[in-house]
Structure 1
């Protein structure tokens, strides 16, 4: 039997989406969990200026905690983080809103270290439509943004994006795109979850799927366990194949009610889009520090050591290299 701890310690462990409260306590927990790198959300509803301010604050936080974390811009940086025993922080957006109506801002944010950008967050923007509105598809401007993201090397994320817009981004992009954090509607019907057909479509077109453990989208809700999370991973692997699947937890660690109120209203203040209720992560992986439990749970479910290492981070490294370049 493969030693779970040894496999976890030796593997590249990547979380494709964390939107936690950025502070030293979290970084300490990342190290406890053996996290090699994470896609860290620095923009949701913010415009260009406020997003730059968030990146500036994140840069300072990284500098102040450089014993634990480092900034990641390339896959070589991810491997360097592993070598140094630090967690690499790659910056990501959950909304293209920060690009405003300026294609040139895509390059600006790439230069600042942004590696993954979700096209829309739940509702309509200049690029396309989110999953909580009637979906008008990818706009003409959106096509230009996708092409520019391909050119500079920023990955297109479709997790909160409407199905028609997602399909059109998948077809328009010349580089792999992703659902960085999603679950299958085959296990629970929810506007944020993806159908079997959608999961197959993105994989068939070279795309990637990060599986989330956000309890409201899991089959058993807040009563879910790490086994429910592994069931969802297995379900998606059976559709998309072992090489197209990774982890994207959607950890919201450290945040309070005000944060969720901001997230769940359009533009952060307008109409209510959804109400999550109580948020409790699955038993067995309540915190980032419990990440090693996931490696163990995947092995116990019957995934081989090689398959487990791919899911836990190896697949993310390969697909990010495809998008970002060497």
Structure 2
């Protein structure tokens, strides 16, 4: 979508149909100046998941917002990426956490293929990147530098060789777990098995350091966070997480972990999902889930009654609203505890419900709104540039340096321990 002038204040304000409110022209000019020098790099976008699950692997129809993909509205297309001043994107090559072994490797390769086809389909907009220098070079050309993130350690199927090949094909981070604890690391949203990382999990982190792949702790338990930070020679990232002190969701990062980031050098990239931003919304979500479970028990075999009762509950209990300032609150909390060098952006767009993010932030066109809010709060150009992409570029460069320093370390041949034999019945 093209930026248009508001008729009521054409000389002073600019806005786009996708944005919830106009941005004063001098503020927009300042944002553009910052993001021309430093690429805005988002840590997590789930377009590949949408393409796989809803569009039969097709990468067509993502040129602009006029290419409607119903019934599921997309948060991302090429026109809105440019509108949002996005300069770099980590595309998530996610598969479900219930898939394991060789099948997980196959499905991950299919997701990687989606991203490579996506980039090829839009050569005027996207270009594959491998290094921090590539991000800057591609951004100077006016394109969006594109890399991949593997969203779960289960996706390597227990194979160090698969991990190395994911890197060779363009993956630059791997999230150690997703929603479920896997064979070697505890998830934030599942029962623990190892109290953090298993010995094999520690070897995975070391191998990621060796090849230059970022260690992503977005979905892991606090103990796994601490174990990975201790094991890693390179900075870690949280590709799409928020501050647990502000919203007590297990997906978020506790303050005692934030306090470890200055020594490690890592970055928390803030998520735009209301469920990870707002404590009132989290409580509402739990109440709704409880009501749904109750109605399922009360009206077993009576789907019409269940639906009617749930609709009535929803009408009587609308979800709490969250405004854009709540994203800024999480950014500022992380910056306060960990420091301005340790915060970034990872919206999780196209991986979260379309209607469950603050107004204007359910699209890749919305980043200028967030920058305008931070400018209103007094943020400097220097700190805004760090938030946009400076911090993650520093992390990428440091990971490259660590990898270079380990060039004489042989590839890991570690394997998962054989499962214990089943007990006789």
Q: The TM-score by the shorter chain falls in which range?
A: 0.7 to 0.9
Structure 2 gaps, min length 5: 1-25, 52-58, 64-76, 282-319, 405-425
Shift of the alpha carbon at 1:208? 1.7
For 2:34 and 2:233, how far apart are their aligned partners in 1?
Answer: 34
Aligned-pair Cα RMSD in Å: 2.0
Q: 2:42 aligns with which of 15, 23, 28?
A: 15
Q: What's the counterpart of residue 33 of structure 1? A: 84
Q: What's the counterpart of residue 70 of structure 2? A: none
For 1:188 and 1:50, how far apart are their aligned partners in 2?
Answer: 33
> Where in structure 2 are the equivalents of 1:99-178 lying within 5 Å?
99-135=156-192, 136=194, 137-178=196-237
Q: 2:138 aligns with which of 71, 81, 86?
A: 81
Q: What's the counterpart of residue 346 of structure 2? A: 248
For 1:169 and 1:181, how far apart are their aligned partners in 2?
Answer: 17
For 1:13 and 1:54, how far apart are their aligned partners in 2?
Answer: 24
Q: 2:127 aligns with which of 58, 70, 95?
A: 70
Q: Aligned with 2:269: secondary structure? A: strand
Q: 1:94 aligns with which of 151, 156, 164?
A: 151
Q: What's the counterpart of residue 265 of structure 2? A: 206
- Bigger CA drift: 30-39 or 16-25? 16-25
Shift of the alpha carbon at 1:285? 2.0
Shift of the alpha carbon at 1:286? 2.5
Q: What's the counterpart of residue 324 of structure 1? A: 400
Shift of the alpha carbon at 1:279? 4.2
Larger-Rg structure = 2
Cα distance per residue 1:13-41 (max 9 Å; x no partner): 11111113455242222122111101110
For 1:285 and 1:92, how far apart are their aligned partners in 2?
Answer: 22
Q: What's the counterpart of residue 237 of structure 1? A: 335
Q: What's the counterpart of residue 197 of structure 1? A: 256
Size of the alignment, in residue pairs? 304
TM-score (normalizing by structure 1): 0.88
For 2:37 and 2:265, how far apart are their aligned partners in 1?
Answer: 27
Cα distance per residue 1:164-218 (max 9 Å; x no partner): 1111111011111111211112112112122211211234332221111211111
Matched-pair contact (CA < 8 Å) for 1:127–1:145: no
Q: What's the counterpart of residue 6 of structure 2? A: none
